[in-house]
Amino acid sequence: MQTNSLESETPVQNMVPTLSRSEALILNILLTRAAETSGRDLLDLGRGQIKKGSVYVQLGRMEDKGLVASRREDTASAPTVIPRRFYLVTELGRQALAALGDLAKPASARNMATPTQAE
Using CA atoms, how far apart are residues 24 and 41, in angstroms rounded to an integer?
16
Average pLDDT in the chain: 77
Query: What's the confidence (pLDDT) of residue 103?
Result: 52
Query: What's the confidence (pLDDT) of residue 24?
Result: 92
Q: What is the pLDDT of residues 77-110, one digit of tens each?
A: 777 778 889 999 999 999 999 888 755 555 444 4
> Is 48 or 68 the better-scoring residue by pLDDT?
68
Domain boundaries, the chain: 18-75+82-103
Do residues 28 and 106 lie in contact, with contact meaning Cβ atoms separated by under 8 Å?
A: yes
DSSP class of residue 52?
A: T
**CATH number for region 18-75+82-103:** 1.10.10.10
Is the pLDDT score of 74 beyond 50?
Answer: yes
Model confidence, pTM: 0.68
> Is 67 or 111 the better-scoring residue by pLDDT?
67
